Amino acid sequence: GIRATFRGKIAAMRHLFRSCDAVPFDLGDVHRCFDVLRAEAFVAGTREAYERDPASLGPNTRANYEMGAAMTLIDSAWAQAEQTRILARFQEAFESFDVILAPTTPVSPFPWTELFASHINGEPQANYYRWLALTYVTTLTTHP
Q: How would you label 52-88 residue by residue, b for 16+ Cβ within 10 Å and e otherwise?
A: eeeeebeeebbbbbebbeebeeebbebbeebbeebee
pTM for this model (two decimals): 0.84
Q: Alpha-carbon distance 28 to 22, whole Å?
A: 18
The reported pLDDT for the residue numbered 111 is 86
The reported pLDDT for the residue numbered 80 is 97
Any idea where the domains of the chain sit in the sequence? 2-140
- The tens-digit pLDDT sequence of the chain (144 residues) is 788 888 999 999 999 999 899 888 888 999 999 999 999 999 999 999 999 999 999 999 999 999 999 999 999 999 999 999 999 999 999 999 999 988 887 788 888 888 888 888 888 988 888 888 888 888 899 887
Q: Alpha-carbon distance 19 to 4, whole Å?
A: 20
pLDDT digits (tens, 9 = 90+) for 53-76: 999 999 999 999 999 999 999 999
